Amino acid sequence: MLGNYSSATEFFIVGFPCSQQVRRILFTTFFFLYSVTMIGNTVIILAVCVDKRLHSPMYFFLGHLSVLEILIISVAVPFMLWGLLLSETQTISLTACVAQVYLYLSLGTSELALMGAMAVDRYVAVCNPLRYNIIMNIRTCIWVVVVSWVFGFLSEIWPVYATFQHTFCKSNLLDHFYCDRGQLLKLSCDDTLFTEFILFLMAVVIVIGSLIPAIVSYTYIISTILKIPSASGQKKAFSTCASHFTYVVILYGSCFFLYVKPKQTQAAEYNRVASLLLLVVTPFLNPFIFTLRNDKFIQAFGDGMKRCYQLLKN
């Protein structure tokens, strides 16, 4: 416990309060998920860069989504894994905590903005196929990606600043496996009601604002697909959008639970589960959701593996 007028300069991370044996199981599980996520998303990035068949807006956006997933998972998961290996309580400095919160929120916001753009891309591909190459040209794609990144990193400056303006004097024991904003606010001796309300409004604008294009796009997409006379045509059109739609449901479901709520200081147990879903499970599923049902990517990946085998053989 800290003094009444002193603010914490470092935090003790509770992590996962369980036995050492359970912590080893958790470490093995999360390390496996982290490794597969890193390998899978790296493969997507390399395939999109190398194979000319994947040089289209859809795969251009998918490549940048994979970059964001790698960065997001690397902000907190290695820190969490290291904490599971430690026998004593893990610590993090105030500066490192600020950096972790800012990077995690900024990258996450950029991802949401990119997901909205990807939904619009699928709408143009399905509903305006003849004008697709004109509308989604390389200049437009680059502009969309740059705006997504810039928006993410600029929009989170004030929320992070407002969070760390408070005095953390109740305790320096953080009941989470990384620097979670809601759990940080629980440690503040100040009145955080106004800050939490503004953070809630900003979360609504960012999450709902990026979700609306997805909802509108998929409403038009489904309407257009149902008008296709042949069953094979409907199946092909649905297959191009099903993976993205699945990912949207998982990602936004987790974001709503964690951030779109007036009271940010939610119970730690619920935050921990939702954070694991957002930080570990969603990035892990990304390579599988976007590639397993994608014939063009599977073919490009297979050809790439054959070329690598031939190079190693020679």
3-state secondary structure 228-266: CCCHHHHHHHHHHHHHHHHHHHHHHHHHHHHHCCCCCCC
**Above 90 in pLDDT, residue 99?**
yes
Residue found by looking up tokens 């063009």 in the block: 296
Which of 51-60, 72-81, 238-247 shows the lowest per-residue confidence on average (mean pLDDT)?
238-247
**Residue 114: pLDDT over 90:** yes
2-15 per-position pLDDT tens digit: 544 556 788 999 88
Of 270 and 46, which is predicted with more confidence?
A: 46
Domain ranges of the chain: 10-313
Range with the poorest average pLDDT among 126-130, 236-240, 276-280: 236-240
- Within 10 angstroms of residue 56's Cβ, the number of other Cβ atoms is 19
Question: CA-CA distance, 209 to 225, in Å (whole number)?
Answer: 25
Rounded to an integer, what distance in angstroms lies between the CA atom of residue 52 and that of residue 282? 28
Determine how β-strand 90-93 pairs with β-strand 10-13. antiparallel
Architecture of the domain spanning 10-313: Up-down Bundle (1.20)
Q: Is the pLDDT of residue 211 over 60?
A: yes
pLDDT reported for residue 226: 80
pLDDT of amino acid 3: 46
pTM, entire model? 0.88
d(CA 121, CA 239): 15
